[in-house]
Amino acid sequence: MSDQTLFSPLKLGALDLPHRVLMAPLTRNRAHPDGTPADLAVEYYRQRASAGLIITEATQISAEGKGYINTPGIHGDAHVKAWKKITDAVHEAGGRIALQLWHVGRISHTSLLPNGESPVAPSAIRADSQTFTENGPTDVSEPRALALSEIPRLIEEYRKAAERAKEAGFDMVEVHAANGYLLDQFIQDKTNTRDDAYGGSAENRVRLMKEVVEAVAEVWGADRVGVRLSPLGQFNDMGDSDPEATFTAAYKALNGLGLAYLHVVEKFPGSQPTSEEGAILDRLRTHWTGTYIANGDFDAETANAWIKKGRADGITFGRPFISNPDLPERFKRGAPLTEPDQSTFYGGDHHGYTDYPSLEEAA
């Protein structure tokens, strides 16, 4: 690359990053059935330590928050021990790593939950979506609406998970409020038909997200907490009657908290925002005055251009990091990228996980 703006340092809350090529959260379904990260994950994350920041795969805050087979947790002692091996390896390799805190809400199946319980959601509306169980792709189960009296318990589970993440040696945490999972389900009116303090107006619907973030920030300090949103995402049967108004409320609710960053999915792989959708995202951007991280099928040149014009401060890359463990160096040199094998994205062994070579190894 002739213009190296992408490789200028970035102050991300309490962290000083050497550059702005960040690793996006990537579900890989290689944890043990009880949610303990497998030993192979130590090498996987260590290989990618040259990222400005690694944001881990989504990690469930509780047994109730699980929605897919073989995804990791952060709600048990074994989880903390296993994650500590990973954070130690990343730090030894000179990297920085954040844990993404996750509750799937209605995107789950009774077979994945304790005692065959129903998934929970803001409202008892079943998603037109599937998840992965031991039997393969399976329609999600009908959820039950969380009672108002259960909300404090849920917030406390986020707080406890944040404490465990600290024990496990992470540098910061990211609250997952995107992609049709629980907090996003509360935010958008297609999935939230409540008539209490957590439903109705946009300000009410973003309330749970804000209270969760505040609880996590009490543990970590706001300058070590980020939040991920997907304002126009329809993944997992999502939608809102007025996404601009809804997410304006979300951005404003977060903007005064002193957070490390806001991480926004601008587009999904294989899709291109319309001109009006792009305009909405641009207008939403004006409601956030802190550090802004963009995600969405970027390459090095477009990432550099966005940062140069101030539209974003950093960019997260997903699939390119799967098959290019040394992605920042490849971008810097203008080296060719290895294409990922999509058949190995979810589940399996080291194939398509830790066997992609770096430039040095390929030479």
User: Has residue 273 got a pLDDT over 90?
Assistant: no
Domain of residue 351: give its range.
5-362
- Cβ contacts of residue 162 below 8 Å, gap of 6+? 101, 173, 215, 216, 219, 220
pLDDT at 15: 98
Quick check: 25 and 226 in contact, CB under 8 A? no
pLDDT at 120: 98
**Cα–Cα distance, 324 to 333 (Å, whole number):** 13
Mean pLDDT, residues 154-160: 98
- The CATH number given to whatever domain includes residue 181 is 3.20.20.70
User: Has residue 155 got a pLDDT over 70?
Assistant: yes
Q: Please say if 261 is a catalytic residue.
A: no
- Check residue 169 and report its DSSP letter: T
**Cα–Cα distance, 50 to 329 (Å, whole number):** 8
Q: Which CA distances in Å does 133 have to 29, 69, 283, 301?
A: 11, 6, 39, 39
The tens digit of pLDDT for each residue in 45-64 reads 999 999 999 999 999 999 99
The tens digit of pLDDT for each residue in 67-109 reads 999 999 999 999 999 999 999 999 999 999 999 999 999 999 9
**Cα–Cα distance, 63 to 193 (Å, whole number):** 25
**Cα–Cα distance, 15 to 314 (Å, whole number):** 13
- State the sign of the Cα–Cα–Cα–Cα dihedral 192, 198, 199, 202: negative
**Cα–Cα distance, 272 to 262 (Å, whole number):** 21
User: Has residue 126 got a pLDDT over 70?
Assistant: yes
Instruction: Quote helix, strand, coil % in the chain, to nearest 5.
Output: 35, 15, 45
Number of Cβ within 10 Å of residue 101's Cβ equals: 30
pLDDT-above-90 percentage for the chain: 94
Burial of 62 (0-12, 13-18, 19+ CB in 10 A): buried
**Cα–Cα distance, 152 to 140 (Å, whole number):** 26
Helix intervals (H) in the chain: 40-47, 77-92, 151-167, 182-187, 202-205, 207-220, 243-255, 275-285, 300-308, 319-323, 327-333, 359-362
User: Has residue 222 got a pLDDT over 80?
Assistant: yes
The tens digit of pLDDT for each residue in 237-267 reads 999 999 999 999 999 999 999 999 999 999 8
Q: What is the pLDDT confidence band of residue 2, given thresholds at 50, 70 and 90?
A: low
The tens digit of pLDDT for each residue in 290-333 reads 999 999 989 999 999 999 999 999 999 999 999 999 999 999 99
User: Has residue 1 got a pLDDT over 70?
Assistant: no
With tokens 């991480």, the residue in question is: 263
- Check residue 114 and report its DSSP letter: G
Averaged pLDDT of the chain? 96
Quote the number of domains for the chain: 1
Q: Which of 181, 198, 251, 261 is an active site residue?
A: 181
Read off the pTM. 0.97
pLDDT at 234: 87
- Check residue 294 and report its DSSP letter: E
